[in-house]
Amino acid sequence: MYPRLEIDINKLKHNASVLSKKCKEKGIETAVVTKVYCAFPEVVKYLKDSGIKYIADSRIKNLKKLRDINISKILIRIPMITEVEEVVKYADISLNSEFEVIKKLDEKARILNEKHKIALMVDLGDLREGYFKEEELFKVVEKVLKLKNIELIGLGTNLTCYGAVIPSKENLGRLCSLAKEIENKFNIKLSFISGGNSSSLHLLDKGEMPEKVTNLRLGEAIALGRETAFGEVIEGTYQDVFKLVCEIIELKEKPSIPIGEIGVDAFGNKPYYEDRGIRKRAIVGIGKQDINVDGVIPMDTKIDILGASSDHLILDVTDSDKEYKVGDKIEFNLEYGGLMAASTSEYVAKVFKYGDEKELAYNV
Ligand SMILES: *Cc1c(COP(=O)(O)O)cnc(C)c1O
């Protein structure tokens, strides 16, 4: 069934092993972030034995799907008050930045007879979640330490998301000195210092990762084999774990400029067309309703994407070395946004490849 998202489990597992080894050499435990592929349990259960310590996801719904997989789980989006019960049930650790929510987590944990672990988020300047003011952070630590069913295990930060701020030894150093200050002031030990996501990896190579950092939360680096501060490929990893495969539904030679008066396209935009004469155009059966067409790259580098409407993706295949026919399949590499949309789309079938011809189709 097409379009389909093919997931090579062995390649993903390999990437997880490479990254967790790289982190371990610097005394850092890895949390694999599974949100970009919806934490498909068919995938995640195979990641357990790749040296990683935690599974992390932004959605409690995803962690709930993984409840039978025996590994520590972290909820990485700060919880909603309305989901605290599920957070205590399905996450071992949650990242937090609001005392009101933490108090509710404590109440639920008491009812469920659990001890819920939290890390407090610190905003180092990226201006998404976390405590921005130090005094506020120290005050909340004092209050959290009085809660009986909450265990404060450390601090975390997130960078290069909203503000695109690149992790450095200075900003992560500040996270570590805050942790030290808290340890001294309150006479506690903070064992979990989570120094960010795939954009922090460059500090490992440069030997600039502050020593106190004990955890990284890695999504894109493991899924796509790239660090995200500079977009560099990570040595020894695969970039083609995920592949989108679509089918050609029309193949015809047509002019490159539409005929007639040009108004606006299906999305209200006024398009521009370059006259390249008569070209061979392939339409594949996928469109803006199915995926994020800006996040897909044809693996045949001689194919150009001309555009897309809700249900159609139009390709120029004139220069390709391959003689395509109707019914042929066209493969695409995926960028982060393309992978996210293909994963969540109910119109894209998921095919899990385990390497030994045993394939499992999902959602078909
Ligand atoms: C998505 C996310 C991550 C993972 O980011 P990558 O760039 O994919 O490694 C880590 N932490 C938080 C809080 C996130 O939301």
Question: What band does 268 get if pLDDT is binned at 50, 70 and 90?
Answer: confident
Task: State which H helix or E strand residue 243 sits in.
Answer: strand 242-255
Mean pLDDT of 7-28: 97
Q: pLDDT tens for residues 124-162?
A: 999 999 999 999 999 999 999 999 999 999 999 999 988
Residue 92 has pLDDT above 90, yes or no: yes
Structure tokens at 227: 């660090």
Q: How far is CA 244 from CA 84, 97, 204, 216, 304, in A?
A: 36, 37, 32, 28, 16
Mutational test site, ligand 1, from 55, 155, 158, max ligand atoms within 8 Å of CB: 158
Fold of 8-224: TIM Barrel (3.20.20)
Fold of 242-363: Lyase, Ornithine Decarboxylase; Chain A, domain 1 (2.40.37)
Residue pair 355/340 in contact by the 8 Å Cβ criterion: no
Task: State which H helix or E strand residue 26 sits in.
Answer: none
Beta bridge partners of 349: 4
The candidate with the shortest Cα–Cα distance to 182, out of 221, 131, 229, is 131
Q: Tell me how crowded residue 142 is: count the other CB atoms within 10 A of its CB.
A: 12
The distance in angstroms from the start CA to the end CA of the chain is 7
Is 80 in a helix, a strand, or coil? Answer: coil
Q: CB of 153 closer than 6 A to ligand 1?
A: no
Provide the angle, in degrees to the nearest 10, between the axes of the packed helices 99-111 and 134-144.
20
Residue 13 has pLDDT above 90, yes or no: yes
Pairs from 96-99 (Cβ < 8 Å, separation ≥ 24): 96/120, 96/121, 97/121, 97/129, 97/130, 97/131, 99/140, 99/143, 99/144
Q: CB of 33 closer than 6 A to ligand 1?
A: yes
Q: Tell me how crowded residue 178 is: count the other CB atoms within 10 A of its CB.
A: 23
The closest-lying atom of ligand 1 relative to the alpha carbon of residue 31 is: 10
Residue 9 has pLDDT above 60, yes or no: yes
Q: Tell me how crowded residue 193 is: count the other CB atoms within 10 A of its CB.
A: 25
Residue 254 has pLDDT above 90, yes or no: yes
Question: What band does 363 get if pLDDT is binned at 50, 70 and 90?
Answer: low
Q: Which residues of 15-43 are buried (b: 16+ CB within 10 A; e: fewer)?
A: bbbbbbebbeeeebbbbbbbbbbbbbeeb
Beta bridge partners of 157: 122
For residue 27, the 8-state DSSP code is T
Q: CB of 237 closer than 6 A to ligand 1?
A: no
- To the nearest whole number, what is the mean pLDDT of the chain? 96
At 364 the pLDDT is: 54
Q: CB of 227 closer than 6 A to ligand 1?
A: no
CB burial class (10 A; 0-12, 13-18, 19+) of residue 199?
A: buried
pTM of the model: 0.95
Q: CB of 123 closer than 6 A to ligand 1?
A: no
Residue 360 has pLDDT above 80, yes or no: no
Residue pair 142/131 in contact by the 8 Å Cβ criterion: no
Q: CB of 158 closer than 6 A to ligand 1?
A: yes
Residue span(s) of the chain under CATH 3.20.20.10 come to: 8-224
DSSP 113-158: T--EEEEEEE-SSS-SSSB-SHHHHHHHHHHHTT-TTEEEEEEEE-
Percent of the chain with pLDDT over 90: 92
Residue 327 has pLDDT above 60, yes or no: yes
Q: pLDDT tens for residues 303-324?
A: 999 999 999 999 999 999 999 9
Catalytic residue, from 11, 13, 35, 73: name it.
35
The closest-lying atom of ligand 1 relative to the alpha carbon of residue 76 is: 13
Residue span(s) of the chain under CATH 2.40.37 come to: 242-363
Q: Whose CA is nearest to atom 14 of ligand 1?
A: 76
Provide the angle, in degrees to the nearest 10, between the axes of the packed helices 169-186 and 134-144.
40
| Gyration radius of the chain over CA positions | 23
Residue 328 has pLDDT above 60, yes or no: yes
Q: Is 13 noted as a catalytic residue in this protein?
A: no
Q: Using CA atoms, how far apart are residues 143 and 315, in angstroms rounded to an integer? A: 59
Q: pLDDT tens for residues 186-221?
A: 999 999 999 999 999 999 999 999 999 999 999 999
The closest-lying atom of ligand 1 relative to the alpha carbon of residue 221 is: 9
Percent of the chain with pLDDT over 70: 98
